[in-house]
Amino acid sequence: MNFDRVYLGRITSATAITGTENRWSYKVRRISVYPENIYSNPGEIFNSEQFEQNPALNLAEMENTASFTRGYADENIPDDFTVKEAEGMCLMFPVFMIFDTTANAEPEFGFLFFSINAIDGGCE
């Protein structure tokens, strides 16, 4: 893995980080786009299953709290709406760091990405 590159990735899962508000630990896979077909079928993405699944963190969530969510004025979010985990595709930056929150966790290879979280809920 080249640490001087940015990679296109797909978020495959998210788990809420215990003891935090509006922050998740993610799993991601690198993906590739077929260059010869990008214009005729832009949805044609090379199967990401061939790439290893890695841990990841969303830099946009690092300052999230119960009263602050990056990208939104919390006072404008209706009470019945909630912040959701990031999903879909993202640009990822490779890192070697501790992702696990358990005691004595070891550094591991993973990714950092930046994606503003969606909010969702029922309209009145």
Domain boundaries, the chain: 7-121
User: pLDDT-derived band of residue 58, with 50, 70 and 90 as boundaries?
Assistant: very high
Cβ(17)–Cβ(23) below 8 Å = yes
For 60-95, write each residue's pLDDT tens digit: 999 888 777 787 777 777 888 888 999 999 999 999
pLDDT score of 121: 81
Give strand ranges (E) for 1-123: 7-16, 24-30, 32-33, 45-46, 53-58, 81-83, 88-97, 108-113, 119-121
The larger pLDDT score, comparing residue 79 to residue 10, is at: 10
Query: What sign does the CA torsion over 54, 58, 64, 66 have?
Result: negative
Q: Sorting pLDDT into bands at 50, 70 and 90, what band is 123? A: low
